[in-house]
């Protein structure tokens, strides 16, 4: 409403929301979190971010992680089986924008490398040395992953083992995504779930406003910063 120059007290908005029964439905989900850690199979990078998630420079600090989603497949006899889908996004800590992502039916080095190379290309305009952050998952320990970053003179950073708070910005994104399009909804095909995620990321980047961004979407915030 502020973006539309409508001045109204926050408490009045809350009263109207409650009166019209427009409260957001919250779902509780207790399934096991996907764990990509398979032990030390490659090089473990130091935690260069060290929870310093804020940056005033676009494309300087990038973070990534993998999240697992489930859908149901029903055969001709009506039998239902659980299938899985994996999302690998790369986020700019400057504004929370998802710069690139890949979706695959199983944890895939090819999928992660595709998203990584796209994120590197998008952030090439940064005049400062970039840092790409992740957890200690097997894919981020791969020689091809670390070598790709090193060849582009990009710092690699990793969270401490088993410490999700070291990458809380990405964990927060996954939580929001699942709360808004996944929990409480059943998907019956890979294509349906994949398209829902693609559509949501577009909405998240371009339309979903955030208080900490001055009630702008991530893309609006980045464009406003460039124009300043």
Cα separation, 88 vs 63, whole angstroms: 11
Is 142 strand, coil or helix?
A: coil
E strands along 39-115, which residues? Answer: 61-64, 67-74, 80-92, 97-104
Predicted pLDDT at 103: 98
Is 195 strand, coil or helix?
A: helix
What are the pLDDT digits (tens) for 44-82?
Answer: 999 999 999 999 999 999 999 999 999 999 888 889 999
User: Number of C-alpha atoms within 13 angstroms, CB side, residue 108?
Assistant: 17
- Cα 158 to chain centroid distance, Å, stands at 16
**Among candidate residues 95, 70, 93, the one with its CA nearest the CA of residue 82:** 70
What are the pLDDT digits (tens) for 85-124?
Answer: 999 999 999 999 999 999 999 999 999 999 999 999 999 9
Compute the Cα dihedral for 213, 210, 177, 173 and give only its sign: positive
Tokens of 144: 């091809």
What are the pLDDT digits (tens) for 208-221?
Answer: 999 999 999 999 99
Q: What percent of the chain has pLDDT over 70?
A: 89
Domains, the chain: 33-227 (3.30.420.10)
Predicted pLDDT at 53: 96
**Among candidate residues 188, 173, 106, the one with its CA nearest the CA of residue 139:** 106
Please say whether the beta carbons of 42 and 146 come within 8 A: yes
Predicted pLDDT at 184: 93
Question: CB within 8 A of 97, min separation 6: which ones?
Answer: 91, 205, 218, 219, 222
Predicted pLDDT at 167: 96
Mean pLDDT of 26-41: 67
> Does residue 30 carry a pLDDT above 60?
no
């Amino acid at each position: 409403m502020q973006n539309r120059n409508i001045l109204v007290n926050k408490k009045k908005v809350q009263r109207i929301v409650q009166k019209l029964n427009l409260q957001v439905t919250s779902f509780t989900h207790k399934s096991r979190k996907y764990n990509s850690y398979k032990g030390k199979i490659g090089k473990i990078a130091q935690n260069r971010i060290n929870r310093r998630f804020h940056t005033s420079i676009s494309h300087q600090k990038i973070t990534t992680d993998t999240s697992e989603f489930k859908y149901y497949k029903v055969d001709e006899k009506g039998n239902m089986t659980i299938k899985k889908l994996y999302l690998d996004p790369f986020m700019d800590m400057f504004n929370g924008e998802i710069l690139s992502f890949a979706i695959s039916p199983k944890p895939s080095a090819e999928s992660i490398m595709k998203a990584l190379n796209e994120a590197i290309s998008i952030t090439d305009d940064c005049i400062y040395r970039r840092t790409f952050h992740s957890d200690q998952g097997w894919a981020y320990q791969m020689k091809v992953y670390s070598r790709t970053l090193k060849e582009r003179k990009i710092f690699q950073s990793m969270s401490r083992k088993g410490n999700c708070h070291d990458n809380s910005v990405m964990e927060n994104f996954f939580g929001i995504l699942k709360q808004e399009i996944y929990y409480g909804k059943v998907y019956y095909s890979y294509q349906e779930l994949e398209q829902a995620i693609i559509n949501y990321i577009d909405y998240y980047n371009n339309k979903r406003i955030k208080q900490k961004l001055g009630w702008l979407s991530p893309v609006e915030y980045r464009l406003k910063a460039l124009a300043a």
